[in-house]
A and B are shown apart, each in its own frame.
Chain A
């Protein structure tokens, strides 16, 4: 028997066919002894499944119930937020980690120096000029001194160290 006819027979056995199609199958069975034999064997095997395979012997157990309820209770706090809210919170936390991580990474790439070290480096030229003036101030005439002081004034930061 091909699968198409087999499925028709299955639906007939399971009483799934509308009356018209059911009558068609009955007419087919009436004129085809082989189909009748097949149908009888299927009915027999189906009935045997019910007789020889009773429900597994599983019993309710208070211990099982108590354990299950306890486990469910333990899951409760995590499950208080609805699923969508938990998903949004997880996404927001991930984004925060990424942003903070990126900020830290880019800051550390910009300079390995601390804030106070950067202030000293910013004033390096000023300090060099100042040292030069201290060392050679007496030997210099006023015009040179004035020029050095003018350079110094130009190099001094306007709003404190950067």
Chain B
């Protein structure tokens, strides 16, 4: 660490993490460079306040660093990484909500699973400072209203590209529960959007499922 090695010899996450575990000079720096934007993007999708993205992404990387002695490269590195991201984001969301509720509803218990976020608190904030089209607004709002676990499973599946089994590991739940969450999330979105998408003032483009 500290020494600058701009050309990474290895790009596989497992190899990078093994190099960090072995105390190889510059390995952690390579890991940070390789995963910085990916971690920031994942964090930005899972939390509401964009101001905390850098802090949480940094916490993810530091947890990776602290876990280097315990890391066992049995699973895909991304599963290990997203588990850390997921836990940090869930804790952050719960903490933020608790703080907000303490402010407005003194003594109220919070964080029942599945408490939907208000429509303006979608975990998919506008990616850029542009005005969203009607269709995008509908979509963001519908995602924001999904129960927490459904939304998280959907984000991991659609945007992080994790397989069902990996989502189960990340969310610490069963494969069947993941399938159920994903189905309900997608069905809720369909019900919320199906009729209204045609009313939105943008042309739609049919595209095949990936």
Interface residues of A (CB under 8 A from B): 3, 6-7, 9-11, 13-14, 16, 38, 41-61, 64-65, 67-69, 71-73, 75-76, 79, 82-83
Contact = CB atoms under 8 A, between A and B. Distances in A.
Given A64-B54, A71-B62, A75-B65, A43 B40 contact: no
B187 to A, nearest CB: 6
Given A44-B204, A58-B44, A72 B127 contact: no
B66 interface: yes
Contacts of B65: 72, 75, 79
B159 interface: yes
Interface of B: 1-2, 28-29, 32-33, 36-37, 40-41, 44-45, 53-54, 57-58, 61-62, 65-66, 68-70, 124-125, 127-128, 133, 135-136, 139-140, 143, 157-159, 164, 179-180, 182-184, 186-187, 189-190, 193-194, 197, 204-210
Contacts of B124: 53
B209 A13 contact: yes
B164 A45 contact: no
B168 to A, nearest CB: 13
Contacts of B194: 41, 45
B23 to A, nearest CB: 9
Query: Interface SS of chain B: helix, strand, loop or mixed?
Result: helix
Contacts of A45: 186, 189-190, 193-194, 197
A58 B158 contact: no
A51 B207 contact: yes
A46 B158 contact: yes
12 contacts: A3-B183, A7-B183, A14-B164, A46-B186, A51-B205, A53-B127, A53-B139, A55-B159, A61-B54, A64-B58, A65-B36, A69-B1
A65 B33 contact: yes
Contacts of A57: 127-128
Residue among A41, A44, A53 with max Cβ neighbours from chain B (10 Å) = A53
Contacts of A65: 29, 32-33, 36
A83 B36 contact: no
A99 to B, nearest CB: 29
Pick the most buried of A51, A52, A67, A75: most chain B CB atoms within 10 A of its CB. Answer: A52
A42 B197 contact: no
Shortest Cβ-Cβ A-B pairs, 8 listed: A56-B44, A58-B40, A52-B136, A47-B207, A43-B209, A6-B183, A72-B65, A10-B183
Nearest to A15: B209
Q: For A3, A16, A48, which residue has the most chain B Cβ atoms within 10 angstroms?
A: A48
A44 B208 CA distance: 8
